[in-house]
């Protein structure tokens, strides 16, 4: 089922002020969707703030050159988060909202969600979801159309980044002909793909390169090469002079190994525990695997978080992945 855009527009028109929120450890789809939606809402005369629980990663700061994204506990306190409506983008899970989750629970504002992930919690919000959409950024383009807002370059750049990264630069099976038609419209609106690619992938720090080398050096294969996994400890960030967000997309490098059907990366968190990322290029459903550990996402890509040491976490996760992959491969 796609989004009921008439109901979406009717709800938008009911409010004057909005706070836009997305998930912790924000990626391009989260940030791009927020920035694009903020511009769409401002174009129809709405008052908009973007407030996240986590800071924008330095590597993605080019998406927000004006510094419009505020950070809870940094530039804004919980009692200052006031609006007629809180719009949650690119997630439908309490665990993914971090400290903003408590703010949303306590707020008397109406809530609405615009998202493309399969799983969802009861957020007390009106849900506008399309599980078939390749990125929430694409849904924001559709929202602009529903609200009769022309695309501008200010909208187009973050929305292009959202769609391009969530499709692995148009490599993933989620890409359709409509994806390319939407991208063409964003280019017509002024985005320059080569500039976005350069900002994303050709501004690496030495620390990021060293960390990726470490990640690749720890790669282990099983099941005749069908399963690949690797790991990063929290101490590795200081060792390499890297940041936690420098692991972004590292798991996709392991999928380049011939014969790989599924991949897992275990990323140690500063406050303890491990972030899990799952990828699949076969019948293995990453969302179903991640849900067993309190996470979620898509069939081809999902994530979760577990407390414990690396040995503990791998001991819990890898048997589940092995069984799921064996079943998927028949």
Judge if 132 and 217 occupy the same domain: no
Distance CA(222)–CA(307), nearest Å, equals 24
Does residue 259 register a pLDDT over 70?
yes
Residue 271, SS3 per DSSP: coil
The predicted structure's pLDDT at residue 1? 65
Query: What mean pLDDT is predicted for residues 217-230?
Result: 96
Residue 34 sits in the same domain as residue 156: yes
Q: Residue 252: which pLDDT band, with cuts at 50, 70 and 90? A: confident
Within this chain, do residues 165 and 238 fall inside the same structural domain, yes or no?
no
Q: Looking at the structure, do residues 185 and 218 belong to the same domain, yes or no?
A: no
- Predicted confidence at residue 58, as pLDDT, reads 85
Q: What is the SS3 assignment for 109?
A: coil
**Cα–Cα distance, 204 to 225 (Å, whole number):** 29
DSSP 217-240: HT-EEEGGGTEEEEEE-HHHHHHH
Position 214 pLDDT exceeds 90: yes
Give the domain-ending residue among 202, 221, 240. Answer: 202
Q: Tell me the pLDDT tens digit for each residue of 138-196.
A: 999 999 999 999 999 999 999 999 999 999 899 888 999 999 999 999 999 999 999 99
Tell me, what's the pLDDT at 298? 83
Number of structural domains in the chain: 2
For the chain, what percent of residues have pLDDT higher than 70? 100
308, pLDDT greater than 70: yes
Tens digit of each residue's pLDDT (9 = 90 or more) over 64-99: 999 999 999 998 999 999 999 999 999 999 988 999
Clarify whether residues 191 and 303 are in a common domain: no
Tally the residues of the chain. Answer: 330
Are 179 and 231 members of one domain?
no
pLDDT at 243 over 90: no
Confidence of residue 282 (pLDDT cuts 50, 70, 90): very high
22 and 62 assigned to the same domain: yes
pLDDT at 25 (0 to 100): 87
| Final residue before a domain boundary, out of 178, 202, 226 | 202
pLDDT in tens, 35-67: 999 999 999 999 999 999 999 988 899 999 999
Quick one: DSSP state of residue 76? Answer: B
What integer best gives the mean pLDDT of the chain? 94
β partners of residue 49: 19
Q: Which residues pair with 221 in a beta bridge?
A: 228
In this structure, what CATH number is given to the domain that contains residue 26? 3.90.1640.10
In this structure, are 180 and 214 located in the same domain?
A: no
Claim to verify: residue 21 and residue 75 sit in the same structural domain: yes
Looking at residue 195, its pLDDT comes to 97
Which of these three, 164, 182, 202, is where a domain ends? 202
86 and 34, same structural domain?
yes
> In the predicted model, what is the mean pLDDT of residues 311-322?
97
Query: Domain residues for 317?
Result: 206-329
The pLDDT of residue 136 is 98
- b/e 152-176 (16+ beta carbons within 10 angstroms → b): eebbbbbbbbbbbbbbbeeebebbe
Between the CA of residue 148 and those of 48, 141, 151, 269, what are the distances in Å? 18, 11, 9, 43
CATH code of 280's domain: 3.10.310.30
User: Residues 242-253: what's their mean pLDDT?
Assistant: 87
| CA distances in angstroms from 222 to 133, 225, 232, 262, listed in the order given | 32, 5, 19, 10
Q: Are residues 244 and 314 in the same domain?
A: yes
Residues 21 and 94 in one domain: yes
């Amino acid at each position: 089922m796609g989004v009921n855009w008439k109901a979406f527009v009717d709800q938008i028109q009911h409010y004057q002020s909005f706070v836009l929120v997305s998930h912790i450890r924000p990626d391009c789809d989260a940030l791009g969707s927020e920035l694009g939606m903020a511009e769409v809402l401002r174009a129809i005369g709405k008052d908009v703030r973007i407030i996240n629980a986590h800071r924008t990663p330095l590597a993605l700061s080019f998406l927000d050159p004006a510094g419009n994204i505020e950070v809870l506990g940094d530039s804004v306190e919980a009692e200052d988060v006031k609006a007629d409506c809180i719009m949650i983008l690119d997630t439908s899970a309490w665990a993914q909202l971090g400290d903003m989750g408590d703010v949303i629970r306590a707020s008397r504002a109406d809530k609405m969600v615009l998202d493309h992930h399969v799983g969802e919690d009861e957020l007390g919000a009106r849900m506008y979801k399309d599980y078939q959409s390749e990125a929430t950024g694409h849904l924001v383009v559709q929202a602009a159309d529903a609200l009769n807002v022309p695309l501008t370059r200010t909208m187009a750049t973050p929305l292009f980044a959202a769609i391009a990264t969530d499709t692995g630069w148009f490599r993933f099976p989620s890409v359709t002909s409509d994806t390319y038609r939407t991208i063409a419209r964003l280019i017509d609106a002024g985005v320059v793909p080569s500039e976005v690619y350069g900002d994303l992938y050709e501004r690496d720090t030495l620390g990021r390169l060293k960390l990726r080398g470490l990640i690749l050096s720890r790669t282990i294969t099983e099941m005749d090469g069908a399963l690949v996994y690797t790991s990063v400890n929290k101490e590795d960030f200081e060792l390499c002079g890297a940041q936690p967000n420098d692991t972004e997309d590292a798991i996709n490098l392991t999928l380049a190994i011939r014969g790989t059907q599924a991949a897992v990366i275990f990323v140690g968190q500063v406050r303890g525990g491990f972030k899990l990322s799952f990828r699949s290029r076969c019948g293995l459903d990453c969302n179903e695997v991640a849900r067993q550990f309190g996470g979620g996402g898509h069939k081809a890509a999902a994530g979760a978080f577990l407390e414990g040491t690396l040995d503990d976490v791998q001991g819990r996760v890898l048997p589940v992945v092995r069984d799921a992959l064996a079943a998927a491969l028949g």
